[in-house]
Each structure stands twice: as structure tokens, then as C-alpha cells.
């Protein structure tokens, strides 16, 4: 939070031309009028106002943070999907589920950048509200995008840290000394933002690719959020609206994570030269060495015989010490050659997750045939036997278990789903005491607040179990 003094300057830097990041990023192909637009004037011009908001997407995509690779990697290694084969103490903290309060990755990946982006969304929302020069249509679209992003950022914060400061303004001196806000209050704020975003955003995407928010992005995140809150009827409603919108279709296994995926609801477009996704840089091994992150035996064994996902989304590498399986959903590592092509975008929200969310909600509501149908949509794409054929009279408790199993093998090492699912279904202590019995204690369900933040702001009280 001490960085708030420099954030406004950072926000203004984000509206510089796209060439600051990459020469081919369609996301940022919005011109800034003359390079002199600053302060409130940014939001009195449609081009610079749009560029300011798009700069937030670009900033998120160009760093390691929960929305861009980090949740896929660190959340997965924290639980039972990935093992860490390296020796860096700070990464190993996550692997043994014993994060030190002075772990700099906690600060530089999961806390500071998230609040930086939240501050930027606040600044844009404020500037847009005060502008008299923009059309109502443009103001609505840009404001809706900011509220969607802000809700997404806060949703990740509370699932990792619990109570967090609820920063809603650009008054950095107040924000620097803000105490933690209860999870319930932050949740209500997230709902308000997402409902507002859904009402403000258009159904059509404002970009050629699915890398800017539309109405269904807000609806999909609402479905996930209501699932987290166990508000089953609302989760069913929001998921159904997204599924019935007609925009989205389950793709072939090989196409799910490509830039043109019809399954994608919201993706992050890479903007750095030579980069495809941050996930590939972390998870796909290079050279002759073993994978830094490899699948656990429990995840590997979770796939049923004939599951197309195991062949299509998991790689294998033999090194002197044995065979390692690794995540191969994203395949393109750093490439600074003249042959570089941008082909993969990071999936933040996609249709398969929404089908599984609705299946879970409908199971809880007692609508078992409909829940089975949703589950079978995902299983059919994976080439697996259908529950409706193999076990049509399955009881609700067994169906709920199958849905959670399917979420694991469909969404593994993706956007932190495994950690979040274990927590919201109250299974995390049971699973982790078995997986990491020498390390796991119940207070590990929340991560520590970075010690450096508490030193700067004594009002930030530490989570239980940490010193």
C-alpha cells in the first residue's frame, strides 16, 4: 500500500502508445492524441480514455500476478496438483504450504501489483464519472470494464488472504493507513461491481478477440462468485445466461487455449515482445533439465482411461532421475526469434468451468438430470463415458463428488481453481493433512499478509498462525 504515491503517475504512463509493450498487440491499437494529455484531460478524449483503461489490461498481462500466470502456478503447487523440483526458498515456501511473512513473492506477485491495478481502476472510474466529453455509451463500456477487473482482483485477494483493505478511492494518504475490511463487506462490494458491470457492458466484445470484458464476462464471474457463496439459484441463473448467450462453444482439446478459442469468455492477451503466456514460461520445461513444476502422482492418477485431456494437456519428459509429467495446456515459451507468433492467450474465464459451475449448483438444488447433462457436456468433449448412460440414477452426494473430480481434471493448474475449490467446499484441511502431513496446519487456509506491508501500515493485522 506504500506504493500509492506513485500509482497515479503509473496510470498516466499506461496510456502511452502500444509500442511500449509490443508492436503487434491489437488490444492496444488505440492512438493517444498528442502525447501531452494528462490528469483529468485523459478522460475528456475518447482515445486517451480508452487507452487508459486498456493500459490496465496491458499492465496486468505484462507481469506475474494472480491474473497472469501466478495463480495457475503458485496456487497449484500450494495444494496437491503440482510439485516443485527446484531449490528457491521462496517458491518452496508455497510448495510446503508454509509461507513466511517475509516471502517477497507474496509481496511482489500477490499483493502489491493487485493493489496497483485496483488503484488504477479506481482512478479510471473516477475520471470517467467526472468527464463531460465522452458519450454515455463509451463511459458505460469503459466503466463496466474497470468494475469487472476490480471485482476480479478483489475476488482473488479475499480467497487468498481473507480480510483485506477495501480501497475504493484515489486518496493515497488514506489508503496507506487503511485497516483490513471484513470478507463479507468485500464480497458485497464485489457483487455491486459485477452487477453494475453487467448492466453497463455491451453483449458484444469491444475488441476483435475476447480480451476485453463484455456483459457475459461479468455474468460468468458472477456465476463463479455465487458458487463460492453457495447461493445456488443465483449461480444457476448467471451460468445459464452465459451458456444460452450463443457466443460460446466447447472447443476441441487442442484449441481451448488458443487466441481464437470459441470456448473463451475472458482471456488475457500477452503484450510483451517474445511472450505468449506467463503460464507457459513457468510450466513448460526448457532445454534438457527437468520441469521446475511437475504433476503430482495424485493428479496424474485422477484421469480416467481414455481421457483426451491427459494426452492433450500433459507433457512428459525423461531426465536422468526419472520421468516427469508437466502441464502442457499452454505450449509456447519465450521466443525472441524472427519466427515468433502470438498464438496463445491466458484463459481467465471459459465455458467448461461455467458448465461445471452450473452442474454443481443444480446438484445442490436437486435438479440432478440437468446437472448430469452439464457434467456430461465436459466429459463428452474429453472422450469419456457419459454419466447419463453409465449411471443415470446416481445419488446427489455421489454426483457432487464426480463434479468436483471433473473440476480437478478439467481445470488443473489453471487460475487457482484447485485451491479455491478445496476451500469453498470445506475439504482443504482433510485433503492437505493427507497430502502434506508434516507441514499443513489449519491456519494455512489463508496466506499471511506480507510483513513489509504491516511494517508500513500497523493497522494491517496479521492472519492467525503467522508472526
pLDDT of residue 169: 86
pLDDT of residue 174: 74
Maximal CA-CA distance, the chain: 67
pLDDT of residue 16: 36
pLDDT exceeds 50 at position 465: yes
Backbone angles phi, psi at 335, to 5 degrees: -150, 105
Q: Average pLDDT, stretch 151-166?
A: 98
pLDDT exceeds 50 at position 411: yes
Q: For the chain, what is the mean pLDDT?
A: 91
Reported as a pLDDT band with limits 50, 70 and 90, residue 287 is confident
pLDDT of residue 95: 97
Domain boundaries, the chain: 4-270+347-442
Q: Which residues contact 66 (CB under 8 A, 6 or more apart)?
A: 109, 110, 114, 153, 156, 160, 416
pLDDT exceeds 50 at position 21: no
Q: Match 506491508 to its residue by C-alpha cell.
A: 453
Q: Which residues contact 138 (CB under 8 A, 6 or more apart)?
A: 46, 49, 50
Reported as a pLDDT band with limits 50, 70 and 90, residue 39 is low
Phi-psi region of 416 (alpha: psi -120 to 50; beta: other; left: phi over 0): left
Q: Average pLDDT, stretch 212-224?
A: 98
33 versus 300: the higher-pLDDT residue is 300
pLDDT of residue 176: 80
Q: Which residues contact 108 (CB under 8 A, 6 or more apart)?
A: none
Reported as a pLDDT band with limits 50, 70 and 90, residue 14 is very low
pLDDT of residue 8: 40
Among candidate residues 180, 115, 113, 118, the one with its CA nearest the CA of residue 151:
118
87 burial class (0-12, 13-18, 19+ CB within 10 angstroms)?
exposed
175 versus 141: the higher-pLDDT residue is 141
Reported as a pLDDT band with limits 50, 70 and 90, residue 413 is very high
pLDDT exceeds 50 at position 365: yes
Reported as a pLDDT band with limits 50, 70 and 90, residue 170 is confident
pLDDT tens for residues 421-438? Answer: 999 999 999 999 999 999
4-270+347-442: CATH topology:
1.25.40
Reported as a pLDDT band with limits 50, 70 and 90, residue 41 is confident
pLDDT tens for residues 323-343? Answer: 999 999 999 998 899 889 999
pLDDT of residue 359: 98
pLDDT exceeds 70 at position 419: yes
Q: Average pLDDT, stretch 402-425?
A: 98
β-bridge partners, 142: none
Amino acid at each position: 500500500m506504500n506504493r500509492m504515491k506513485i500509482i497515479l503517475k503509473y496510470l498516466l504512463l499506461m496510456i502511452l502508445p502500444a509500442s511500449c509493450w509490443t508492436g503487434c498487440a491489437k488490444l492496444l491499437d488505440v492512438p493517444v492524441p498528442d502525447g501531452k494529455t494528462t490528469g483529468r484531460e485523459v478522460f475528456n478524449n475518447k482515445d486517451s480514455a480508452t487507452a487508459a483503461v486498456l493500459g490496465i489490461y496491458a499492465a496486468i498481462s505484462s507481469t506475474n500476478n494472480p491474473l497472469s500466470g501466478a495463480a495457475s502456478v503458485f496456487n497449484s503447487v500450494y495444494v496437491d496438483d503440482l510439485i516443485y523440483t527446484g531449490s528457491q526458498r521462496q517458491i518452496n515456501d508455497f510448495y510446503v504450504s508454509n509461507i513466511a511473512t517475509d516471502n517477497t513473492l507474496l509481496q511482489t506477485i500477490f499483493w502489491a501489483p493487485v493493489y496497483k491495478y485496483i488503484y488504477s481502476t479506481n482512478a479510471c472510474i473516477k475520471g470517467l464519472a467526472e468527464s463531460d466529453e465522452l458519450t454515455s455509451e463509451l463511459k458505460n463500456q469503459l466503466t463496466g470494464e474497470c468494475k469487472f477487473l476490480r471485482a476480479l482482483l478483489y475476488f482473488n485477494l479475499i480467497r487468498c488472504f481473507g480480510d483485506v483493505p477495501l480501497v475504493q478511492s484515489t486518496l493515497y494518504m488514506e489508503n496507506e493507513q487503511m485497516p483490513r475490511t471484513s470478507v463479507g463487506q468485500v464480497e458485497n462490494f464485489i457483487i455491486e461491481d459485477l452487477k453494475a458491470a453487467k448492466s453497463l457492458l455491451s453483449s458484444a466484445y469491444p475488441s476483435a478477440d475476447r480480451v476485453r470484458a463484455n456483459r457475459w464476462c461479468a455474468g460468468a464471474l458472477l456465476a463463479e462468485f455465487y458458487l463460492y457463496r453457495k447461493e445456488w439459484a443465483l449461480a444457476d441463473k448467471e451460468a445459464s445466461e452465459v451458456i444460452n448467450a450463443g457466443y460460446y462453444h466447447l472447443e476441441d482439446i487442442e484449441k481451448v487455449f488458443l487466441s481464437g478459442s470459441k470456448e473463451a469468455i475472458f482471456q488475457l492477451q500477452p503484450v510483451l515482445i517474445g511472450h505468449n503466456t506467463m503460464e507457459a514460461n513457468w510450466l513448460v520445461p526448457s532445454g534438457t533439465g527437468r520441469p521446475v513444476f511437475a504433476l503430482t502422482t495424485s493428479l496424474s492418477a485422477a484421469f480416467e482411461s481414455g481421457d483426451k485431456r491427459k494426452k492433450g494437456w500433459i507433457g512428459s519428459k525423461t531426465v536422468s532421475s526419472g520421468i516427469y509429467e508437466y502441464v502442457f495446456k499452454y505450449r509456447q515459451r519465450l521466443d525472441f526469434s524472427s519466427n515468433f507468433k502470438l498464438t496463445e492467450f491466458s484463459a481467465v474465464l471459459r465455458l467448461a468451468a461455467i458448465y461445471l459451475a452450473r452442474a454443481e449448483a443444480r446438484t445442490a438444488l436437486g435438479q440432478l438430470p440437468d446437472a448430469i447433462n452439464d457434467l456430461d457436456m465436459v466429459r463428452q468433449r474429453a472422450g469419456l463415458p457419459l454419466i447419463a448412460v453409465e449411471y443415470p440414477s446416481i445419488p446427489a452426494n455421489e454426483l457432487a463428488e464426480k463434479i468436483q473430480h471433473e473440476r480437478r481434471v478439467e481445470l488443473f493448474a489453471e487460475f487457482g481453481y484447485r485451491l479455491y475449490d478445496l476451500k469453498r467446499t470445506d475439504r482443504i484441511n482433510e485433503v492437505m493433512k493427507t497430502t502434506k502431513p508434516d507441514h499443513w496446519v489449519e491456519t494455512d487456509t489463508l496466506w499471511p499478509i506480507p510483513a513489509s506491508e504491516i511494517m508500513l501500515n500497523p493497522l494491517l493485522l496479521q492472519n492467525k498462525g503467522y508472526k
